[in-house]
Structure 1
Amino acid sequence: MMPNYKNIIKGISYILIIIWFFIAGKGLFAHMKIVKDAVMQTRNLSDEQIRLVIYGEFYKFIQECKKEIPEDATVFLITNNFFDYYYSTYYLYPRRVLINAPDKSVDGLVTKSISLNLDKEFLEKNNISYLIRYDREKDNFMIKKLKL
């Protein structure tokens, strides 16, 4: 009698699906515990406190920028971190945040090896009134009002 290959393939498929569920579910409980702990930790916190937990000192920097920079200003963010640009743009709205190549979105991020040339013509052309910088390594920041 010849083996029924259809039944063999079906049996192997069932075994592989069971193994896959076991492997996928193995880390599920540990992940659920991490999520539960995070929710419990932030349950009684305000939105501001939760943002401070998530973003740390960077959120303090954003709050300081909001206090010091008027809403109609254009700021130039000196950074080599896309995260800083993305969240600065989001949290500082309606202020206009530029980064290194203001005519384009984000190409030309500042790196330590590239010097930044902010001449008066460039600043006036783009109506930049503030320079801001957040240094993650030293955990400090700079907000500088420009006089053009």
Structure 2
Amino acid sequence: MNQSDISVRLLGTDQIQGLAAYLTAAGLPTQDLLQPGRMFYSFHRGETELGYGGIEGSGRTRLIRSLVVVPAQRKSGIGTLLLRALERIAGADGAQSLHLLTTTAPDFFEARGYEQRDRSQAPKEISSSEEFNSLCPTSAVYMVKELGDINSVSPQVTRLHGRQ
């Protein structure tokens, strides 16, 4: 499977429950899903649900708010494709770097170009986020990726119920 096989749908606020259920099952935070500044996406191949992801913020520095692959699709390489789609979405919207916190998948992200950094190195727009300050434990690994030329190609995103 390649990236062109995957459709990306921007979730409306009425579709956040599906995302929340998968995040909860994966032990990921859900308390701030409806807060402003977060964009969440569902990923599908045809009608088959593959996973969800989110980006928080605007401007050149963004936070990957979440990335979860549905259980039936795990261990198939889907996670890499979903991460690449999130990177392209953010890059096409002007982001130059993506930041994240993880307690469960530092090896996954490191293998895909993310670098571990000390939390004290996080820029203000990241360090002041709710995820950084209260949703993720201080033991979460802080990671960064500079997007570089990824900005040149963006996946086609379908808007569902006009969430902005």
TM-score higher than 0.5: no
Scaled to the shorter chain, the TM-score interval is under 0.3
By percentage of residues, which structure has more helix? 1
What is the TM-score of this pair, normalised by structure 1? 0.26
By percentage of residues, which structure has more strand? 2
Bigger Rg, which one: 1
Q: Structure with the greater relative contact order (CA < 8 A, sep ≥ 6): 1 or 2?
A: 2
What is the TM-score of this pair, normalised by structure 2? 0.24
